[in-house]
């Protein structure tokens, strides 16, 4: 009798476990947040010393997936609340021995990348920033030409901003579910 009860209980655990696994497979089959990556390329032209110019984005490249990120009025915006990793590649041309800033503004928070142009006349930088994008807080980029030690001339910057979602099943939550 004891063996019969134990075998029935074991059988129920096995069946219950298999049902759970099958339900999990069906749930995992419908992935709500699929990976995506999008890149935007923008630039400034003819920025004078002691002036600030916004980065104007002209090109967009969707690497994979369906991105909720778009550009509107030279601001990067999101359709929903989402955690992203932003990778910025900066290429700056200008007079040698000049000082510049790339300012990233999200709402009232600002991040600054300081750049110095060496004798070659070209500076490169790369930055990675992880953040949560909210639809009501667009991301704005500005190029500031602060000062120069030698020849006064114009400068320009080329900025490539690539955004991809974080770990989708752990971090991302649509704005309407909060």
Q: What count of other Cβ atoms lies within 10 Å of the Cβ of residue 3?
A: 7
Residue 140, pLDDT score: 94
pLDDT at 151: 80
In this structure, CATH architecture of domain 37-177: Sandwich (2.60)
- State whether residue 80 is helix, strand or coil: coil
Average pLDDT over residues 152-159: 92
Residue 170 is predicted with a pLDDT of: 46
**DSSP H/E element including 12:** helix 2-29
* pLDDT mean across residues, the chain: 82
Confidence of residue 86 (pLDDT cuts 50, 70, 90): very high
Residue 82 has pLDDT above 80, yes or no: yes
3-state secondary structure (DSSP) of residue 69: strand
Confidence label for 25 from pLDDT (cuts 50, 70 and 90): low
Kindly indicate the confidence band of residue 149, based on its pLDDT and cuts at 50, 70 and 90: confident
What integer is the mean pLDDT of 104-129? 92
Q: How far is CA 17 from the centre of its chain?
A: 40
Q: What residue segments make up the domains of the chain, in order of their start?
A: 1-30, 37-177
% residues pLDDT > 90 (the chain): 50
pTM of this structure: 0.72
Categorize the per-residue pLDDT at 4 as very low, low, confident or very high, splitting at 50, 70 and 90: low
Q: In 10 A of CB 29, how many CB atoms?
A: 7
Q: Does residue 127 register a pLDDT over 90? A: yes
* Residue 104: other Cβ atoms inside 10 A: 22
């Amino acid at each position: 009798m004891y063996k019969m009860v134990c075998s029935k209980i074991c059988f129920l655990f096995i069946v219950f476990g298999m049902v759970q696994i099958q339900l999990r497979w069906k749930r995992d089959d419908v992935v709500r947040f699929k990976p995506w990556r999008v890149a935007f390329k923008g630039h400034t032209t003819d920025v004078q010393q002691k002036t600030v110019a916004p980065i104007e984005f002209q090109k967009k490249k969707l690497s994979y997936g369906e991105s909720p990120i778009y550009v509107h009025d030279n601001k990067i915006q999101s359709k929903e609340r989402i955690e992203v990793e932003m990778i910025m590649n900066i290429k700056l041309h200008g007079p040698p021995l000049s000082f510049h800033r790339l300012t990233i503004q999200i709402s009232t928070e600002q991040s600054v990348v300081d750049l110095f142009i060496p004798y070659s006349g070209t500076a490169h930088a790369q930055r990675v920033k992880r953040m949560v994008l909210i639809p009501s807080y667009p991301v704005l980029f500005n190029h500031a030409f602060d000062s120069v030690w030698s020849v006064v001339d114009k400068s320009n910057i080329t900025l490539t901003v690539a955004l991809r979602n974080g770990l989708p099943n752990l971090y991302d939550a649509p704005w309407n579910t909060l």
